[in-house]
Structures are given as C-alpha cells and as structure tokens.
Structure 1
Amino acid sequence: MADEKKVKIKLGARPKSFKHTVSFPMVDGTVGCIEVTYKYRTRREFAGFIDDLQATAKTQADAYAAKAKAQLEQDGTVPMPTQKELLEFGLSGSVDFIMASVEGWNLDEKFDRTAVEQLADEVPAAIPSIMEAYRGAINEGRLGN
C-alpha cells in the first residue's frame, strides 16, 4: 500500500468512464483478459440501471407466460421452453447489461452487440466476470477479479 498513488477526492468531479482489465478462466485452463472501458454510474444510477434491466426481463417473462397461457387455453398443453430458448433469454439479458455498461474494449473485434454475443457464446466466463467487475466497482469501489 505504500506504493499506491494517493489522490485528493473532489466531490462532483465524476468521470465519464473508467478502464479495468478483467481476467477470467478460459475453457482450456488458461486465463484470458480484456481491458474494458466502463461507463461511470453513481450507486443510485446503478440501482436504477439494474431496475430497468429487471423490468425488461419481467416484460419478456410476462410475454412468454401469456403465450403459454393462451396455448393452455387453446389445446390444454403447456409449452416448455427449449434449452436454446432458455440460453437465448439468459444471454440476451447479459448482453443487454454489457451493452449498457461498457463503452469499449481492447479486442481486435469492434465493440458491438454481435461481438458481445459471440464473446458470450465462445468464452462463457468472460461475460459474468465483466458484469461482476462493474458491479464491484460501482457498489463497492473496488476493481478486483
């Protein structure tokens, strides 16, 4: 701690963004990392951000429930979501989180929804690590891995 740079705090001088290198396990046992530029939010703004994401997820779940209810009333069966549908639902929410909290990264691929979906599909541990690092930075003021 003696080598840490100390900075005087100035309230109201909020950054637009901040960078952090996120590490995560790769499927081959190595450790991958991505330098991520996060959008800055206060703790209150982050809480509203999470509320908005949860409202979107509830809307999607309610739409599926209405569809299931209609099918039950029509033919007496209850549709079961497929594994792919469940995965897509989960990935969609995670990608929404990343797109709304990250401004960019140091990958060769352009930061866009398609690339984030590809990352989520190909490197499963990357997305929750990026999400958790953001949550930790905003709520706890730490950028640990």
Structure 2
Amino acid sequence: MTDTARDDTTGPKRSAPARLLIAAGHRWPTLLAVALAVATFADGLPGLAFLAWLLFVMPVCYLLFGAARGEFRPRGALARQLYGLLAFGTVALLALALDDTLARYLLAAGWLGHAAWDFAHRRTGRVVPRAWSEWCCVVDLLGAVALLALA
C-alpha cells in the first residue's frame, strides 16, 4: 500500500477578510452588544438612576424568557431566577440610596455580577436563548467598564 497525498482543502479558498466576516457572523450577538455599548457610553455615562433601573430590569427579562420557554419546570429553577431578581434589585436600590461615587462602584459590581450570571446561562443553555445571554454578558461587561472608566 502506498500513501497518497491528501488535499484537505475541499472548500473554496477564502481571503482573510472573508474568513473574518464569516467568523464574526457567528458572534453577531457580541457585535450587536459592542455597537449598543458604544452608542450608549460614547458620550459619557447615562444617569446612575437609569443604570440602576437597567440592573433591575435585566433579571426580569430572564424571568419572562424562562416563562415563555417553559424553563422553570426543573425543581428550583424559578427560585434561582427569583433570587437573582432579588439580589440585582437590592443592588440597584442600594445604589440609588448612596452618593454618586459609591453608587457607581456598586453598580459596576452589580453589572459585573450580572455578566457572570449571563455567562452561567450561556454555558448551560437554559432559561434564555444563548444569543441573548451572550449579548447581555457583553453589554454588562462593557457597562461595568464604562461605569469605572468614565467616572
């Protein structure tokens, strides 16, 4: 038996920019999140009350997605989401009661915490669509960075 040369390039050859566009297409939630973050924070921070309100609304979206997708059947799934709502809502309310400097740090921590929440949901694929959790994770990370950097 003889070895024959194999040609593993069975598809059409693509240029580097074309390959980059194809790869970016798979990460469309990330690209949308970056665009939203740039549009939101390019001219400075929105009001801290608005950012606190968003921190409360984020877990509400998870509850709505979970209910619509029927994801609360496993024991404890709804309770975990309600604990998340309670935790992020508490951080948001506390931030409203603090002076702006402390509120900014607390909100940044809350947004980072929600990014971790999103990442966990992205890994499990439960409660929300993966595209949503990816998008939200990037928005949360960039929002937390903006809260710290644009102070």
TM-score, normalisation: structure 2:
0.30
Which structure shows the higher helix fraction? 2
Which structure shows the higher strand fraction? 1
Based on CA coordinates, which of the two structures has the bigger radius of gyration?
Answer: 2
TM-score, normalisation: structure 1:
0.31
